[in-house]
Amino acid sequence: MDKLYRNKLVISTLILPGLLLFLFAILGPIILSVFYGFTDYSGMGSYNMIGFENFLNLLKDDKFGLALRNSLLLALGFLLIQHPIAIIVAVVLDKLRGRAEGIFRCIYFIPNVISVAVIAFLWKSVYNPDFGFLNKVLAFLGFSGQINWLSQENAIWSVLVVLIWHGFGWGMLIYYTGIKNIDPVLYEAASIDGADQKNTFLRITLPLMKPVIQVNVTMAIISALKQMETVYLLTGGGPGDSTQFTANYLYQQAFESFRYGYGNAIGVVFIVICLGVTVFLNKVFEERQEQ
């Protein structure tokens, strides 16, 4: 068998599918995207090479800046709101045991199994000022007046609530799995030594969850940066550009404004930002581990 694995023909045969997949489904589109980023291609007909013009225009594009800011705001929302709550809920679920543990785990995960289109239309209806659930509840509680949850001032916060709510179950489930993998003997030993719940959480659960947190946080930030479908269906980036996100802006430029070249330039910058963020997060977690 050893000889078989040393056979170059076998080796190349085994890596060929993965290599082809990487070349045609990942590397090829990225190279094409970089290429089109240097053109004035509208998506149809001929095009000209225009050098760095698209990238220079991006630097001056306020809407791109706004979209990037909103994406980073969402990433912060994930980091500071969604994930701390997800860890706490995962810990509580782990302590629940029995039937309740399974029931609540399912309930928290339900938003993740619902289609994004359904989620968007559901929340559109919840936020509707005339017949929406939120305003009906407020009216029932005695508050007068209609709150426009998707107004230019409120929309970004309303969208963040939906996105944080939608991704919560997924983050929570990963943390929950991480907690389940911690050896219960450690908790028993801590209990014998008289450690309280706070100390057990801070000194056993959190340190042993670091690899899980690293993966989860990286995935959350990347998903915040590439957020598109929920925003597109919920607000389309509006009113105005108040809920514009990077990926949505890329789509609008490439396919609605017929600026395919410019859209690809956004895509290239977007990839660079995602890579930069991933490298930065890896460094942060590595340094912490070394400490």
Partner 1 sequence: MKSITKTKIKTKSKMIALLLTAAMAFALLAGCGATETTTTTSDTPVSEPTEPDVQPEPAEADEPVAEDSGAEPVTLRLFTNLPDRQNGQGLIEQMIVDEYMAENPHVTIAVEALDDESYKTKFKAYAMDGMPDVVNIWGQPSFLDEVLDAGVLAELNEADYESYGFIPGSMEGFKKDGKLYGLPRNTDIMAFYYNEKMFIDNGWTVPATYAELLELAGTIHDAGFVPVAMDGGEGWPMAIYLTDLLLKLNGDVANISKEAINNADFSNPVFAEAVQLLIDADNAGLFQTGYDSQDYGTAMSLFTNGQAAMFYMGSWEASMALNQDIPEEIRTNIRAFFMPVVEGGQGLATDIAAWNGGGYGVSASSEVKEEAIKFLNYMYLPEKLSKYGWENGVGMSAQDQSEFMTGEETELQKIFINIINQATNTSGTPINDNGSSLLKTTIESNIQSVSNGSMTIEDFLATLVEACAP
The contact mask relative to partner 1 for 234-253 (x = CB under 8 A, - = no) is -xxxxxxxx---------x-
Q: Which stretch binds partner 1 (CB under 8 A): 93-101, 148-156, 168-176, 200-208?
A: 148-156
Residue 45 as a binder of partner 1 (CB under 8 A): the answer is yes
Ranges assigned E (strand) in the chain: none
Q: Which stretch binds partner 1 (CB under 8 A): 92-100, 162-170, 191-199, 258-266?
A: 258-266
Least separation in angstroms between residue 36's CB and partner 1 is 11
Angle at 220 between CA 215 and CA 223, to 5 degrees: 125
Residue number with CB closer to partner 1 (16 or 23): 16
Least separation in angstroms between residue 16's CB and partner 1 is 6
Instruction: Tell which one of 13, 48, 181, 191 touches partner 1 (CB under 8 A).
Output: 13
Residue 129 as a binder of partner 1 (CB under 8 A): the answer is yes
Residue 150 as a binder of partner 1 (CB under 8 A): the answer is yes
- 159 CB contacts (<8 Å, ≥6 apart)? 230, 231, 234, 235, 243
Q: Which stretch binds partner 1 (CB under 8 A): 29-37, 108-116, 231-239, 264-272?
A: 231-239
- 64 CB contacts (<8 Å, ≥6 apart)? 58, 246, 249, 266
Count of residues interacting with partner 1 (CB under 8 A): 41
Burial 129-142 (b: 16+ CB within 10 A, else e): eeebeebeeeeeee
For residue 148, CA distances in Å to 130, 131, 153, 242 come to 9, 11, 9, 14
Least separation in angstroms between residue 223's CB and partner 1 is 23
Identity of the residue numbered 3:
K
Residue 44 as a binder of partner 1 (CB under 8 A): the answer is yes
For residue 67, CA distances in Å to 55, 63, 144, 157, 210 come to 16, 6, 34, 14, 31
Which runs of consecutive H residues, i.e. helices, occur in 148-259? 155-180, 184-192, 197-200, 206-208, 210-225, 229-234, 246-251
Residue number with CB closer to partner 1 (13 or 199): 13
285: how many CB neighbours lie within 10 A of its CB?
17
Residue number with CB closer to partner 1 (45 or 184): 45
Q: How far apart are CA 45 and CA 125, in angstroms?
A: 41
Residue 146 as a binder of partner 1 (CB under 8 A): the answer is yes
Residue 9 as a binder of partner 1 (CB under 8 A): the answer is yes
Residue number with CB closer to partner 1 (156 or 220): 156
Least separation in angstroms between residue 153's CB and partner 1 is 8
Residue 109 as a binder of partner 1 (CB under 8 A): the answer is no
SS3 at position 11: helix
Residues that bind partner 1 (CB under 8 A): 3-4, 7, 9-10, 13-14, 16-17, 42-46, 124, 128-130, 146, 148-153, 155, 235-242, 252, 255-260
